[in-house]
């Protein structure tokens, strides 16, 4: 897998919910081993974009190619094969509360890949250690963990299957600044260690500056700016300037209703 | 004109909902036969549906059998046909009340729990997480529940039948002065194999309906806590109505000649 090769290519993607147009001809390329962060306001379509790429939502039209393979409209079996390349950290962690922490981390190995439970548990404890959690945590229920620890477990679960691509959906939302910085650091470390491609969606600019190689901004269902993170402060784009500085005045008008 | 349009919209919405349910059912049933099979989950659901429903189903069946004996005795006493009480109790329990009462009780207990659990998983993105971890949610969540519902309800109904008949026996012997041996003889003399089989077929269908509606309502729940609450209500109400509806259809198939 060479660096710079296009890993995921999204072309002219459209998705609406009733009359509400969420993605309106969106185009985006993700290069292999790159950490891309998509920024944008609440309800701008960031999560919908990720769910369309994963096949959780079906786009109305457009193309999504993963390693050159068209994935819009593919069979369920082909989708399951493609999904083996992915890991994902959900905004609310989405840990399974019916099983202990170690089983959450090992879930993709046991249920998705048919690995023996004993071997999967060993790997799960290693992954927990990689995100700074001791083995005792493995026996706890997710409900017994703090928000920050749940994010760590979710990160451990996302990396346990050694994915080629990892998606991070608002990884630092709801965390205090120190814990958010710790999670950002873990994301950078884990992605680098795996040699994975990362797509994060966030509106946290501190987080963006720490984890991004490249930043794309989504507005009204389209990517309106795309460039290296170092250039974000001099983007020359009024929308990006307003967003990164969090100003009320500017071209972006926040919708009151979704 | 507006009235006609409104009726048309309701009818189209009904067809759409029926189509969605049919597609969901077809896919979920297909996954019951496609590996990998999650035996551990099937076992856990069997314990939840079968073992933990035993007290409520047993109590319901016992009191139903007791009331049935009392009511049929007071009714038949007017025609001096008290000897038919044992037969009425056993036929009513095996053909109708055993499966229907067990079905309604399990719909309230298990259908609601399934809708709430799967609904919560939906609104907290746990179902999306299953998908990203290469575990098909229909195969992982729905298929084990359908298998467990289909197999456990008949076993619960066997228990309900026995307990219900025993309840009728206790009341008849201790309160109504029946001879125990004569009561048991009447019970078994008029009981045919088809009476029991029809009840068990009903139970299997009811078990499938309860699991299906619980899973479907939960799987399609939207929003937050309110959406999960609505899913729970939908699961119990639709399962209960369908149980009564299919009870008539199956009775018609077995006994109308």
What DSSP line would sit under B138-187, residue for residue? IIIIIHHHHHHHHHHHHHHHHHHHHHHHHHHHHHHHHTS---HHHHHHHH
Whether B13 is covered by a domain: the verdict is: no
Count of the separate structural domains present in chain B: 1
Of A97, A112, A157, the CB nearest to B135: A112
Nearest residue to A136 (alpha-carbon basis) of A101, A173, A104: A101
B158 CB neighbour count, 10 Å cutoff: 17
* Helix ranges restricted to H, chain A: 46-54, 76-83, 101-107, 117-130, 147-160, 177-194, 205-211, 238-245
Q: Does pLDDT of B98 surpass 50? A: yes
User: A100: Cβ–Cβ under 8 A, 6 or more apart, which residues?
Assistant: A138, A139, A140, A141
Query: Any CB–CB contact under 8 A between B37 and chain A?
Result: no
Q: What is the pLDDT of residues B182-193, one digit of tens each?
A: 999 999 998 999
Q: Does pLDDT of A76 surpass 90? A: no
Q: Which residues of B touch A87 (CB under 8 A)?
A: 132
Contact A80 B125 (CB under 8 A): no
Contact B135 A51 (CB under 8 A): no
Question: Which CA distances in Å does A240 have to A50, A116, A200?
Answer: 21, 48, 17
The boundaries of the domain holding residue B234 are 38-255
Q: Out of A24-33, A181-190, B125-134, B198-207, which region has the weakest mean confidence (pLDDT)?
A: A181-190
pTM, whole model, 2 decimals? 0.88
Nearest chain B Cα to A92, which residue? Answer: B124
pLDDT at position A1: 43
Q: What is the pLDDT of residues A163-221, one digit of tens each?
A: 999 999 988 888 888 888 888 988 898 888 889 999 999 888 999 999 999 999 999 99
Q: What is the pLDDT of residues A147-169, one digit of tens each?
A: 889 999 999 999 999 999 999 99
**Rounded Cα–Cα distance for residues B176 and B69 (Å):** 9
pLDDT at position A2: 47
Contact B124 A92 (CB under 8 A): yes
Domains in chain A, CATH or no CATH each: 1-85+213-250 (3.40.50.300)
Q: Give contacts of B 39-78 with A, CB under 8 A.
A: none
Whether B24 is covered by a domain: the verdict is: no
Query: Any CB–CB contact under 8 A between B223 and chain A?
Result: no
Q: Which residues of A touch B133 (CB under 8 A)?
A: 107-108, 111-112, 157, 161
Token pair for residue A169?
Answer: 């959906």
Contact B134 A83 (CB under 8 A): yes
**Rounded Cα–Cα distance for residues A164 and B240 (Å):** 47
Confidence of residue B117 (pLDDT cuts 50, 70, 90): very high
> How many residue pairs bridge chain A and chain B with CB atoms within 8 Å of each other?
58
pLDDT at position B121: 95
Whether B183 is covered by a domain: the verdict is: yes
**Rounded Cα–Cα distance for residues B167 and B187 (Å):** 13
Token pair for residue A35?
Answer: 């950490």
Contact A94 B136 (CB under 8 A): no
pLDDT at position A3: 53
**Rounded Cα–Cα distance for residues A240 and A28 (Å):** 17
Q: Does pLDDT of B7 surpass 70? A: yes
Whether B168 is covered by a domain: the verdict is: yes
Q: Does pLDDT of B257 surpass 80? A: no
**What burial letters (b/e) apply to B8-29, b meaning 16+ CB within 10 Å?**
eeeeeeeeeeeeeeeebbeebb
Confidence of residue A114 (pLDDT cuts 50, 70, 90): confident
Q: Give contacts of B 112-171 with A, CB under 8 A.
A: 117, 121, 124-126, 128-136, 140
Contact A96 B36 (CB under 8 A): no
Whether B4 is covered by a domain: the verdict is: no
Confidence of residue B232 (pLDDT cuts 50, 70, 90): very high
Q: Which residues of B touch A80 (CB under 8 A)?
A: 134, 136
**Percentage of chain A with pLDDT > 70?**
97
Q: Which residues of A touch B117 (CB under 8 A)?
A: 98
Separation in Å, CA of B177 to nearest CA in chain A: 52
Angle between the N-to-C axes of helices B143-174 and B2-31, in degrees from 0 to 180, rounded to the nearest 10: 90
């Amino acid at each position: 897998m060479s660096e710079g090769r296009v890993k995921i290519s999204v072309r002219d993607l459209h998705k609406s919910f009733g009359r509400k147009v969420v993605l309106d001809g969106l185009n985006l390329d993700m290069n292999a081993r790159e950490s891309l962060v998509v920024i944008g306001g609440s309800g701008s379509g960031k999560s919908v974009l990720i769910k369309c790429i994963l096949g959780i939502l079906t786009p109305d039209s457009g193309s999504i190619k993963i390693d050159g393979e068209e994935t819009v409209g593919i069979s369920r079996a082909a989708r399951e094969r493609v999904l083996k390349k992915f890991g994902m950290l959900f905004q609310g962690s989405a840990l399974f509360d019916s099983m202990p922490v170690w089983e959450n981390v090992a879930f993709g190995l046991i249920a998705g890949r048919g690995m023996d439970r004993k071997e999967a548990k060993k790997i799960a404890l290693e992954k927990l250690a990689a995100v700074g959690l001791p083995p005792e945590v493995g026996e706890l229920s997710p409900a017994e963990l703090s928000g920050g620890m749940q994010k760590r477990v979710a990160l451990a679960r996302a990396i346990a299957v050694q994915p080629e691509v990892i998606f991070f959906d608002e990884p630092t939302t709801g965390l205090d600044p120190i814990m958010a910085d710790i999670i950002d650091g873990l994301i950078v470390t884990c992605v680098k260690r795996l040699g994975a491609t990362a797509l994060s969606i966030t509106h946290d600019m501190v987080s963006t500056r720490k984890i991004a190689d490249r930043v794309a901004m989504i507005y009204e269902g389209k990517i309106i700016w795309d460039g290296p993170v170092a250039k974000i402060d001099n983007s020359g784009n009024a929308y990006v300037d307003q967003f990164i500085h969090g100003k009320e005045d500017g071209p972006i008008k926040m919708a009151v209703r979704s | 004109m507006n009235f006609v349009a409104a009726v048309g919209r309701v009818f189209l919405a009904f067809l759409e909902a029926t189509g969605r349910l049919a597609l969901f059912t077809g896919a979920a049933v297909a996954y019951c036969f496609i590996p990998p099979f999650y035996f551990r989950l099937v076992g856990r659901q069997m314990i939840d549906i079968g073992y933990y429903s035993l007290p409520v189903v047993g109590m319901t069946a016992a009191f139903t059998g007791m009331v049935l004996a009392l009511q049929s005795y007071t009714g038949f006493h007017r025609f001096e046909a008290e000897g038919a009480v044992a037969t009425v109790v056993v036929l009513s329990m095996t053909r109708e009340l055993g499966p229907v009462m067990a079905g309604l009780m399990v719909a309230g207990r298990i259908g609601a729990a399934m809708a709430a659990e799967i609904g919560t998983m939906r609104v907290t993105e746990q179902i999306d997480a299953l998908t990203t971890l290469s575990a098909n949610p229909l195969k992982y969540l729905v298929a084990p529940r359908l298998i467990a519902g289909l197999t456990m309800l008949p076993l619960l109904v066997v228990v309900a039948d026995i307990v219900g008949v025993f309840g009728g026996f206790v009341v008849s012997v201790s309160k109504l002065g029946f001879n125990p041996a004569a009561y048991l003889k009447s019970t078994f003399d008029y009981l045919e194999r088809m009476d029991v089989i029809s009840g068990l077929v009903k139970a299997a269908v009811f078990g499938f309906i309860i699991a299906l509606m619980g899973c479907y309502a939960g799987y399609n729940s939207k929003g937050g806590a309110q959406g999960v609450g609505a899913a729970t209500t939908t699961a119990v109400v639709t399962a209960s109505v369908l149980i009564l509806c299919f009870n008539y259809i199956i009775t018609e198939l077995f006994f109308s000649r």
